[in-house]
Amino acid sequence: MKNDIHPDYHEITIEMTDGTSYKTRSTWGAAGDVMKLDIDPLTHPAWTGIHRLLDSGGQLAKFNKRFKDFGLKG
């Protein structure tokens, strides 16, 4: 194994969206840093089963307006 080519592997703290935290080892950041998660298993639809549509900057409205006439006529 070559010397001095591997990233520093150190302990960091992961902070979940509900405020709970745990320690793990990672190459992210520096030793003792805190990684605050915006999306985690407590809030992500893949794990919660609750799907929310977020309309950031009107993108959802723009999509709906563009494709309002697309689809089956009943």
Model pLDDT, residue 26: 96
Predicted confidence (pLDDT) per residue in 43-63, tens digit: 777 777 776 666 555 777 777
**Domain residue extents for the chain:** 10-66
Cα 65–68–58 angle (5° rounding)?
25
State the pLDDT at residue 4. 85
pLDDT at 73: 57
pLDDT at 42: 78
CA neighbor of 33 nearest in space, from 67, 52, 10 = 10
Beta bridge partners of 13: 23, 34
Which segments in the chain show pLDDT lower than 70?
A: 1, 51-57, 72-74
The pLDDT, as a whole number, for residue 13 is: 97
pTM over 0.75? The answer is: no
Which pLDDT score, from 0 to 100, does residue 51 have?
Answer: 65
